[in-house]
Amino acid sequence: MKNMFNIEIYNRELEWIFNQFPSYQKVGGRAYKPGIETMKEFDAKLGNPHKKFMTIHIAGTNGKGSVSHMLASALSQTGLKVGLYTSPHLIDFRERIKINGEMISKESVLDFLLKWKGFMLEQKPSFFEITTAMAFDYFEKERVDIAVIETGLGGRLDSTNVITPVLSIITNIALDHCEHLGFTLPEIATEKAGIIKPEIPVVVGEVTNQTRAVFEDTAAGRNSLLIFAQESRFKDVLASEYNLDLKGDYQTHNIRTVLAALYVLGHNQQFMSKTKHGWSDENLREGISHAARNTSLRGRWEQLHEKPDVICDTGHNANGLRVVFSQLRRQKAGRLFIILGFVAEKDLEKIFGYMPRNAYYFFTQASTERALPAESLAGKCKSLGFEGEIQAGVGVALEAFRKICKIDDLLFIGGSTFIVADAINFLENRDNFFAD
């Protein structure tokens, strides 16, 4: 009875913060709260827990999730106790906070929410500020050696930017969340570059002519060592050389960023004093290669079924989907089907130009209030000549595909994190779905 009672309280309190402090994941822009003053106050109340362990800070438009997980996996493979804070989650809230691949316990989540409920009601921090504070508090209590901290949105005004890391990483810059970060690449780069701290090295994964000056000027002004991964000793490394369990083509860019980051860490005496005898090329390669397995990362060119092949990917903006759809076109299949949905605020004009023309689409919407209505998506796509039909939800779309699929067909599911989450949740709750 006690365990059941605790689970009921946990579910109640978790639902309370989702309702009381809506997340960006759930409601979009109206949950965005720029600035870090409330986070600083919350952090001070907790005793500044992030100062008790080393951190690595990661920002970027695309790839920061994969880079965060690969880096955390590599570091944990050396014997370190590694915290990992990322967002959003796909299925379980606790995916956001992990140590060596294990999610934060429900007991720890509940203890934190009950202890700080009064402060939250009084100061009204954002949902992301609450989860950031929870992560820092948990990592301190569990005495991690180092924590990989992913920004939520932007960098300069992000809640995570209270930390002073041993290394900053910016994966790349593309047009996304423009209403908050700016409508040009230099403007967005300036926001991301806000995580660069004085005399702290920074690795930039991908740079363009439009963003280079922003990073060079910011790093120079803060006397920070700047390394462009695509111009480093790792510029020619291919993801295929590492036999990654993260299979997307875009992982080639991400692995170069990870290798450059590990190179910088390997020359940091403070960090290396923690690694003892576990720091080796063999251990690092093992950790990188099995990042998905070691950290339970989902939704990155993930195969959900074979014969027919079902692949999902969380790429959700033009820059990310350009690579995803390019890889999709190269797959060998009898027929190509796509279950597609987006959030309402997404700029779709560039995305339409990358979508495969030889596919049959199931236009749908995810189970979130941020979803673009399937009818609206279908109308725009059909006016551009894309063939397909409207389905009320991801599960309904999967049912429609199952009725017509052949063993050599390929189904891709994507367009937003929420579409992928709905697909994973639907399929994992139905054993032998395609055999029925």
pLDDT tens-digit map of 247-261: 988 899 999 999 999
Per-residue pLDDT at 213 exceeds 80: yes
Distance CA 57, CA 166 (A): 8
Distance between alpha carbon 68 and the CA centroid of its chain, in Å?
8
Q: Which residues contact 393 (CB under 8 A, 6 or more apart)?
A: 364, 365, 366, 367, 422
**CA distance linking residue 232 with residue 202, whole number of Å:** 13
* pTM metric for this prediction: 0.92
Give the number of other CB atoms < 10 A from CB of residue 280: 12
Please give the C-alpha separations between residue 31 and each of 18, 152, 338, in angstroms, as whole numbers: 11, 12, 30
Predicted confidence (pLDDT) per residue in 331-350, tens digit: 999 999 999 999 987 789 88
**How many CA atoms lie within 13 Å of 305's alpha carbon, on the beta-carbon side?**
26
Q: CATH fold of 2-295, please?
A: UDP-N-acetylmuramoyl-L-alanine:D-glutamate ligase (3.40.1190)
The mean pLDDT value of the chain amounts to: 91
CATH of 302-435, one of 3.90.190.20, 3.40.50.2000, 3.30.70.141, 3.40.50.300: 3.90.190.20
> Does a cis peptide bond (omega within 30 degrees of 0) precede residue 49?
no
Q: Which of 196, 144, 167 is nearest to 265 (CA)?
A: 167
pLDDT of 26-38, one tens digit each?
Answer: 444 444 556 789 9
Cα–Cα nearest to 59, from 181, 147, 152, 165: 152
- Same topology, domains 2-295 and 302-435? Answer is no
Whether the CA torsion 125, 130, 136, 137 is positive or negative: it is: positive
Given a contact cutoff of 8 angstroms between Cβ atoms, the answer to whether 168 and 204 are in contact is no
- Whether the link from the prior residue into 88 is cis, omega within 30° of 0, is yes
Nearest alpha-carbon partner for 136 in 203, 212, 192, 54: 54
pLDDT at 87: 92
Domains of the chain: which residue ranges?
Answer: 2-295, 302-435
Q: How many CB atoms lie within 10 A of CB 414?
A: 26
Query: What is the reported pLDDT for 432?
Result: 85
Residue type, 150: E
In terms of residues, how long is the chain? 436
**What's the pLDDT at 344?**
86
**Beta strands of 286-370 (E only): which ranges?**
302-305, 309-313, 336-340, 359-363
